[in-house]
Amino acid sequence: MIDGLDKVSKLKKVVVFHAGTKKTIEGFVTERGSGVRRDCARQGHIKAAIDNAYKAVSLIHFDGMHFRRDIGWRALKNMRG
């Protein structure tokens, strides 16, 4: 079972895209094999968007969960020159 989607849905400017999941009769979202999930955050500044995306990721939990820890690093590097 995937926990935390209800908490993420309350965040402003965050959208979770996922595939390889299914909703059970009880209303739980579960993995269906190799899941693909993307948390997208929109904000006025790239740093705020990155922080918002990681906040969303921190609220989601399921067995075998892993995620990239380099969200937006190129954009930040280019901004700094």
- Counted residue by residue, the chain has a size of 81
The per-residue pLDDT for range 39-58, each reduced to its tens digit, is: 555 556 788 888 888 888 89
pLDDT: which is higher, 43 or 68: 68
Q: Count of H helices and E strands in the chain? A: 3, 2
Domains of the chain: 5-74 (3.90.600.10)
Q: What is the pTM of this model?
A: 0.67
Task: Give which of 17, 11, 54 is closest to 36, Cα–Cα.
Answer: 17
> How is the chain split among helix, strand and coil, in percent rounded to 5?
30, 30, 35
Q: What is the DSSP string of 52-81?
A: HHHHHHHH-B-TT----S-TTHHHHHHHH-
